[in-house]
A and B are shown apart, each in its own frame.
Chain A
């Protein structure tokens, strides 16, 4: 029980959990505010709901068709059994009536990914707390006590299971709470198939039941993941266990990301810890995996796998723990030791800067944290795709009159408008004449072949008129922009270009939520990566040595350079994700023209090109990140503890952002 209290009911653990909760809620709020096109709503949703019966009927038809196919005639084959199971599963859904309702919150909950990483981080933290005794050389002392082996191991397993379940329910629960508050009024009693994302699901459960089972599965996955690390650490040294665990989880994640569901390796993709932590596939996708020739749904197989590990891992750990020997270096670790010794002997000394970089980015995991943040920002950016809804009849005029806005160019635009107006009148007159002729022909000579010719001609003219009207409407949007630009030029003497406004407006103004979210990722990454910067020296009690060394004081300069450089690079990398994602849909153009050509930038006081402005903007954002890095460094110097530093920085930097996200709606 004391072990439980030591690890869980502990200021540091609670603080860490609270920080994770704050991070989770803040990012979830951003996700809610950012995701405009989350799922089908309005007419599209009604259409989906009305079409659900058709989908079921079509699926059943397909199944019947396949059952009649000679390819699947072999009774004992997996393919045959799979089709038969599909028939049973989908057949059971007949009569199910999906209902209309608020689905956005549920979809965000299902897609929100950050929580998986946070839960994993907490579980690893718990196991590392167990391993503290080894770090402090207390392992033999603990093992020599009456309760230091099996009872302690069992208490730790219980602690781990409780901790993993608690953090899962806390974080996933907070996500659920946020989405429910943001999108209230969702009727959770509806069938899960009421949410379009669950179209293929064959589970006859309500949304409420789905949410409960999903959280339960994730808690189970988190527990098993923690148990795996703990079981590994019972067999070998903490470092080897961590490396083995990282490799195993990394490979599983890679399999999960890269293997396609139709592959023969689909089992490896879904029956793995990462897939279980992500969780949604089992509910969303209908896929039967081949389990010794028997088709079993993803979720069911995942659950059996998790339960098996839940029993096997503690058992293995128990056997290792009960042995009368203290943990020793095994053959593999011994070989590894020899390899490490060889590398160590042949390693060349490096300079002071490299050492500080190694300490900050390697020993304190700074690089991994920054990379993880960039990856999270990237994966979040994939969820909010940009749709090109620009009017082509407007765009053609921007292309046509691209270049500086002058009195001549505006006059040319007016002339074009006047010409089109003239064409319009001509076309309208022509259409009127053709209509009159057609009516006359139909009245006087109903069987005359000329009717068809005149009809076709009339249709052609009407099409031309429609096209012309669209062009005119487009130019009517462009002309006021040109007038406004010309007015500005005449007032300020600064030449503007005619630019399509949407691309840069989106980048600089309209996609501010993505920017805010990215800023949050950067901020968190920088705080987490560099919070140990100075605390590390205090913990190692190296301050006196550094102060009395020839180049000891220079290490602070190196640290500053590294923090500034990597904070800025992280910021640049993460902001560039948004830049590139927008650029893929809305290609950037006319980047050499004055920045004031963008309407929202009219008040910018300096004469500078768009390229120059973007450089300044991204430079400024990098500087901001660098300043955050230096602030973290300063706090680290003052509080001399990494977790306390993260907590303080989170309170100082994250809470205002969190509040702005809440208040900003």
Chain B
């Protein structure tokens, strides 16, 4: 269980994230918010990539800063800025990520082949990532994040560049793996979240706007037919409120 208490991040006078308190159990969670809402800051904080100003993040009751590498061992992450070695082959890249995750070599090889199959890259696995299309790169990154079957999977815009068929396939896969781990999915493609997320965390201007299931969020607002409408509604409300 990942507990976030009063999480705050300030850049000088600007508050990127303001006293966020939320708890994630096993399951798929969606993270929605307009540009600049603090989504990436939030993900960077829970992956311990940036220093927080205030608050705490506990994993199974333990502060993640104290856990250090032990926490990172449970983490799988695809950042928004897609980092990859373009001169590596997809298979080599996954092997490399496996070594970074401290996986046993045999297990790493086995899982690499398994995830290459899942993301439909087995045939292109010996090719350089630099020669891949955007969608193929995205799938490689997803496979890399899933490698080692981490307990917390943080995916920042994981389906960007995928064709509808691939997106559907991966969405189903994410839903299936979300049963026994925490998956946090940040995206602008609201449809991806609506069908698989147990709860949606809606961030606007660094503040937690709503944290509830998509069905509840939709039912609360009669004028909204789907999650995208809800998202636009809250984004609009906050915009007018601030104005």
| Residues of chain A having any CB pair with chain B under 8 Å | 135, 239, 337, 340-341, 343-345, 347-352, 355, 359, 363, 536, 540-553, 555
A348 contacts B105, CB within 8 Å? yes
What would 19 A/B residue contacts be, using CB atoms closer than 8 Å? A135-B130, A340-B89, A341-B126, A343-B126, A344-B125, A348-B109, A350-B105, A351-B105, A355-B96, A536-B85, A540-B83, A541-B79, A544-B77, A544-B83, A545-B79, A548-B47, A549-B72, A550-B100, A553-B69
B87 contacts A544, CB within 8 Å? no
A352 contacts B99, CB within 8 Å? yes
B126 contacts A549, CB within 8 Å? no
Cα distance A408–B101 in the bound complex, in angstroms: 71
Contacting residues of chain B (112-152) with chain A, CB-CB under 8 angstroms: 112, 125-128, 130, 144
B69 contacts A550, CB within 8 Å? yes
CB distance from A354 to the nearest CB of B (A): 8
Interchain CB contact (< 8 A) of A344 among B49, B81, B84, B126 = B126
A541 contacts B83, CB within 8 Å? yes
Query: Is B95 positioned at the interface, with any CB of A under 8 Å from its CB?
Result: yes
Query: Is B166 positioned at the interface, with any CB of A under 8 Å from its CB?
Result: no
Cβ contacts under 8 Å, A239 to chain B: 128
Max chain B Cβ within 10 angstroms of own Cβ: one of A135, A340, A355: A355
The 9 A-B pairs of least Cβ separation, nearest first, read A344-B126, A541-B83, A549-B100, A349-B95, A550-B73, A542-B83, A341-B126, A544-B79, A548-B47
Interchain CB contact (< 8 A) of B97 among A135, A345, A545, A547 = A545
B100 contacts A551, CB within 8 Å? yes
CB distance from A274 to the nearest CB of B (A): 28
B98 contacts A349, CB within 8 Å? yes
Query: Is B108 positioned at the interface, with any CB of A under 8 Å from its CB?
Result: yes
Cα distance A295–B88 in the bound complex, in angstroms: 51
- Beta-carbon nearest neighbor of B90 in chain A: A344
Determine the main DSSP class of A at the interface with B.
helix
| Number of B positions contacting A (CB below 8 A) | 40
Interchain CB contact (< 8 A) of A547 among B49, B84, B105 = B49
CB distance from A492 to the nearest CB of B (A): 55
Cα distance A541–B89 in the bound complex, in angstroms: 16
Query: Is B75 positioned at the interface, with any CB of A under 8 Å from its CB?
Result: yes
Interchain CB contact (< 8 A) of B49 among A348, A363, A544 = A544
CB distance from A540 to the nearest CB of B (A): 5
Interchain CB contact (< 8 A) of A548 among B49, B84, B92, B125 = B49
Query: Is B91 positioned at the interface, with any CB of A under 8 Å from its CB?
Result: yes
Cα distance A351–B100 in the bound complex, in angstroms: 9
Given contacts A542-B84, A548-B75, A550-B102, 6 further A-B contacts (CB under 8 A): A341-B126, A363-B87, A540-B85, A548-B72, A551-B100, A551-B102
Query: Is B198 positioned at the interface, with any CB of A under 8 Å from its CB?
Result: no
Interchain CB contact (< 8 A) of B86 among A352, A355, A540 = A540
A551 contacts B101, CB within 8 Å? yes
Query: Is B228 positioned at the interface, with any CB of A under 8 Å from its CB?
Result: no
Query: Is B82 positioned at the interface, with any CB of A under 8 Å from its CB?
Result: yes
A551 contacts B69, CB within 8 Å? yes
CB distance from B233 to the nearest CB of A (A): 32
B72 contacts A355, CB within 8 Å? no
Cα distance A400–B221 in the bound complex, in angstroms: 108
Also in contact, A349 and B108, with CB within 8 A (given A541-B82, A544-B83): yes
Query: Is B63 positioned at the interface, with any CB of A under 8 Å from its CB?
Result: no
B130 contacts A546, CB within 8 Å? no
CB distance from B79 to the nearest CB of A (A): 4
Query: Is B48 positioned at the interface, with any CB of A under 8 Å from its CB?
Result: yes
- Beta-carbon nearest neighbor of A344 in chain B: B126
Cα distance A475–B73 in the bound complex, in angstroms: 75
Cα distance A343–B91 in the bound complex, in angstroms: 11
Cα distance A278–B95 in the bound complex, in angstroms: 44
Cα distance A545–B144 in the bound complex, in angstroms: 10
A549 contacts B101, CB within 8 Å? yes
Max chain B Cβ within 10 angstroms of own Cβ: one of A344, A345, A550: A550
Cβ contacts under 8 Å, B109 to chain A: 348-349
Cβ contacts under 8 Å, A363 to chain B: 85, 87-88
CB distance from B25 to the nearest CB of A (A): 21
- Beta-carbon nearest neighbor of A352 in chain B: B99
Cβ contacts under 8 Å, B88 to chain A: 363
A550 contacts B101, CB within 8 Å? yes
Cβ contacts under 8 Å, B86 to chain A: 135, 540
CB distance from A364 to the nearest CB of B (A): 9
- Beta-carbon nearest neighbor of A237 in chain B: B131
Cβ contacts under 8 Å, B79 to chain A: 541, 544-545
Cβ contacts under 8 Å, B47 to chain A: 544, 547-548
Cβ contacts under 8 Å, A343 to chain B: 126
Interchain CB contact (< 8 A) of B81 among A135, A340, A541, A549 = A541
- Beta-carbon nearest neighbor of A354 in chain B: B99
CB distance from B47 to the nearest CB of A (A): 4
Max chain A Cβ within 10 angstroms of own Cβ: one of B85, B87, B100, B108: B100
Interchain CB contact (< 8 A) of B105 among A349, A359, A543 = A349
- Beta-carbon nearest neighbor of A135 in chain B: B130
- Beta-carbon nearest neighbor of B107 in chain A: A349
Also in contact, A542 and B102, with CB within 8 A (given A135-B130, A344-B125): no
Cβ contacts under 8 Å, B108 to chain A: 349
CB distance from B119 to the nearest CB of A (A): 16
Cβ contacts under 8 Å, A546 to chain B: 100
A543 contacts B100, CB within 8 Å? no
CB distance from B175 to the nearest CB of A (A): 23
CB distance from A553 to the nearest CB of B (A): 8
Cβ contacts under 8 Å, A349 to chain B: 95, 98-99, 103, 105, 108-109, 112
Cβ contacts under 8 Å, B128 to chain A: 239
- Scan B37-73; emit 1 where CB is below 8 A from any A CB, else 0: 0000000100111000000000000000000010011
